[in-house]
Structure 1
């Protein structure tokens, strides 16, 4: 052992670091056990390099990761990836059932998850913990419509940049109103909670309601239900105006989802609509949106050159592809959820995907590089998100039976689906996928699937008392709240299996 130490120690430090950067978790762990010198080298450099080269983006555990050592971070990620490979997770509702049927929206930051249902905001705080069990607590329930104004249901919500405070939200209502909501931390009866201040935003004319927001870099993009897309060159900060300048284009179709990528080599905006061209790409110029699309993302591998014969579909969900996608981690790779139940992936860089035709006088038609679906459930896809184990998964919320489908893009034929806790006959309206956690929301409740190591009852908000409902109503049958119950029974099945679904 001493001979090995003296032999390796003569190598230059930069060579040793290059060797460490090529090792996997098992290799680093084995090397660190060979001798004290190697243990110190791996502890100081090896785990740090591995964590940097294998990122696992995750808002809900970011506060905890700031406390953990590099080795603890890698251990958490390794155990999480192993749980994903085994489809082993804890299923948990985040609240009791809401009254009535809602169309909820989710927004997330490093500090909290916001669930918007009806005109109520539920704020779940992420707590940094020194162990590998970061917790989630319900910090506040905020009623934004105490005056019972008609039509004040939230249609879209997003966090705005506020210097890392994670206390500024942009909220759109069905009554064609947009407000900035400033969350204000307070202490009441010895407990930390939130109140709020609100400010109307005149940068959004009250001619239609906002269906979708997307923020990226210095830009904020909004899309209204009738197809008005508005690019703001400066997001709301503090109590200032929503924009220093804006650009507006009219898509002319019923619209559902927008996605802004300001960090791409060529910044662009993607729009999901209903119609002949349901997924289009527009260039983002330094001061405005391009008035015409430069790329149309098509649903099929081939198509006639005439746009009149394109199928009439709709796109409800758009997201950036997983970081560990076989095609790379470029922001120019898009994942989209379609009305026909397909999740289609497009590479805007790929010349091999261009459909035959001369694009010199018009937009380029691009075919998908991959299409995946749950063959047992041909339902519309309402929302998509990317992340998960090895940062290589796609999650899709479907239109019925509260089903969420998952695929590993490295092996897309091994996908699987699972019903949300409670098995609501509902769409999964909004989804967020992180390294170890999936957040979703049905018409009845928000929920989480936790793939992290050893979550406990203290990891989640208690369910002893119901959250104040947005409207009147009660719990649905089939979801039992029992003291000490960590995971709730859900039904899952594998797409390639011909057997019956199994309970998890």
Structure 2
């Protein structure tokens, strides 16, 4: 009895456990198995090995499943070698800013000061392996007069029926606006433009401003610097009224995280306090007024003494991590330079008080042993869907860890290597987008990156701190975390 004598459904089940190279080998054995792999094998492989990547998703929709699997496999191999193309997306801005980024299926938008910079993702790629390109659409200034009140402090895309042109922008003055991008029209010689509609105002004092915005399933979670968290329903029409409910965390707050896909919807908040990371349950129309879980630094802090710290970044876990693709696992970046991962499904939750609030210790903590700088942002994805990326508070350093081997992390300096924090990071299967106080940048782990894959830099005096070109990118300094350290450090 030969392999091809088995029923097709049995063979399809067997194909599900094969790697990309295994599927390629099977497809070369005979015509019938080649057909089976092309029709079922590659699609099954892609379902079992997700690589979320908004910037290449539209281009990949045009690709055959085999081509998508090949692109992902080559990207994974590049991740395993820490081999990537480093590119700045612009010359340095005039001035120093604390930028915010937002990404959709169609574009990346970077906010610096009161200016939006839009980068559009190509829906096609010219060759079998070439990475889809990113094109600079233009910039638009939202403030009519220079003032810190109009600086954009947070940014997120909101649903607009698939157009990917509508954002919510939060300002230092406490305003939140619906901002609709009008793409440039070269035929009519019209540059990038915007239409703006007020959403709400969240400022009770001169020192309060919007710090974080998160959006999911038509719900918008805003967090002010003083700890006022507001959950709003965003209407489809800009003319309809926004309905909302608020709670006051009463702490200097930095970051929020919204999870509505979880079996028990929740919001998480990062702040500066003795309980810097807290989780609040979300009811159908409001946020619970008291936290359901406090997430502590280590297990000894569950019932022991607590220390003041701060959490600046929160993300959901890598999609292919050992904890599964669950919204109940969150990753957080802390003031002490550590990244801590928490599984909210854990059974053991000793109470910290007689109230209903309980506490939970991390299931994993990682750090760069050569840096004690705070972590300003975290994101998950990357090669094999198992990586964590963290933006450091100094020297424009981004650190990476594979949760399958957390002691083998590595770090890299952003192009230009200035002393800035990396304020924002977005991690995809083949790309990391980041932003320092000076400009946005990208690390591309995909195959066949060309000079024109990303916007060319306009002529300017000097080198902006950029090191020599290396193929389509620029040279950057990177180092392994375990260099010079004994095993099991």
Is 1:489 the counterpart of 2:475 in the alignment? yes
Query: Which residue, 386, 409, 412 being the options, matches 1:415?
Result: 409
Q: 1:142 to 1:236 in 2, by over 3 A?
A: farther
Task: Quote the residue 2:13 is aligned against.
Answer: 18
**TM-score, length of structure 1 as denominator length:** 0.91
SS of 1:50 mapped into structure 2: helix
Give yes or no for contact 2:202–2:209 (8 Å, CA) kept in 1. no
> Which of the residues 300, 304, 311 maps onto 2:307?
311
| Residue 361 (structure 1) aligned with residue 361 (structure 2) | no
**What SS does the corresponding residue of 1:188 show, helix, strand or coil?**
coil
1:377 — aligned with what?
A: 371
Question: C-alpha separation between the residues in 2 aligned to 1:108 and 1:361?
Answer: 39
Per the alignment, residue 91 of structure 1 pairs with 86
Distance 1:212 1:87, change over 3 A: same
The question of whether the paired residues in 2 share the 8 Å contact of 1:153 and 1:174 is answered with yes
Match of 1:402 in 2: 396
Q: Distance in 1 between matches of 2:132 and 2:90?
A: 18
Unaligned ranges ≥5, structure 1:
467-473, 500-504
- The 8 Å contact of residues 175 and 201 in structure 2, kept in 1 or not, is answered as no
- Asked if 1 retains the 8 angstrom alpha-carbon contact of 2:154 and 2:171, the reply is yes
Alignment-derived partner of residue 446 in structure 2:
452
What's the secondary structure of 2:41's corresponding residue? helix
Q: For 1:35-62, what per-residue CA distance to the aligned partner results, in whole angstroms no more than 9, with x for missing partners?
A: 1221111111111111111111001001
CA contact (8 A) 1:160 1:236 kept: no
- Label 1:479 to 1:86 Cα distance change in 2 as closer, same or farther (>3 A): same
Distance in 1, matches of 2:45 and 2:141, equals: 44
Question: Is 1:479 matched with 2:466?
Answer: yes
Give CA deviations for 1:458-484 in whole Å, capped at 9, x if unaligned. Answer: 100011247xxxxxxx877522687x9
Which ranges of structure 2 fall in alignment gaps of 5 or more residues? none
Distance in structure 2 (CA, Å) of the matches to 1:195 and 1:349:
45
Contact 2:335-2:373 at 8 Å conserved across structures: yes
Look up the match of 1:64. 59
Greater Cα offset, 179-188 or 337-346: 179-188
* Contact 1:96 1:475 survives alignment (8 Å): no
Structure 1 residue 365 displacement after superposition = 0.8
Q: Aligned to 2:41, which of 39, 46, 53?
A: 46
Q: State the partner residue of 1:113.
A: 108
Q: Is the 8 A contact 1:98 1:475 kept in 2?
A: no
Instruction: Name the SS for the 1:187 alignment partner.
Output: coil
How do residues 182-331 of structure 1 correspond to structure 2 at under 5 angstroms?
182-189=180-187, 193-202=191-200, 204=202, 207=205, 208-232=208-232, 234-241=233-240, 243=242, 245-303=243-301, 305=303, 309-331=305-327
Q: Which moved more, 1:206-215 or 1:41-50?
A: 206-215
Give the Å deviation of 1:367: 0.6
In the aligned structure 2, how far is the partner of 1:163 from the partner of 1:206? 34
Query: 2:202 touches 2:224 (CA, 8 Å); kept in 1?
Result: no
Residue of 334, 338, 359 corresponding to 2:334: 338
- Which SS does the other structure have where 1:71 is aligned? helix
Aligned match of 2:26: 31
1:392-451 C-alpha deviation (Å, 9 max, x unpaired): 000000000000000000000000000000101010000000000000000111000000
Do 1:177 and 1:206's aligned partners in 2 also have CA atoms closer than 8 Å? no
Instruction: Report the CA distance shift for 1:24/1:303 in structure 2 as closer, same or farther (over 3 A).
Output: same
Say whether the 8 Å CA contact 1:109–1:166 is kept in structure 2.
Answer: yes
Q: Distance in 2 between matches of 1:304 and 1:440?
A: 34
What is the rounded CA distance, in whole Å, between the counterparts of 2:235 and 2:107 in structure 1? 19
> What is the CA-CA distance between 1:342 and the residue it aligns to?
0.6
CA distance, structure 1, for counterparts of residue 446 and residue 188 of structure 2: 31
- Secondary structure of the equivalent of 1:302? helix
Contact 1:298 1:367 in 2 (8 A): yes
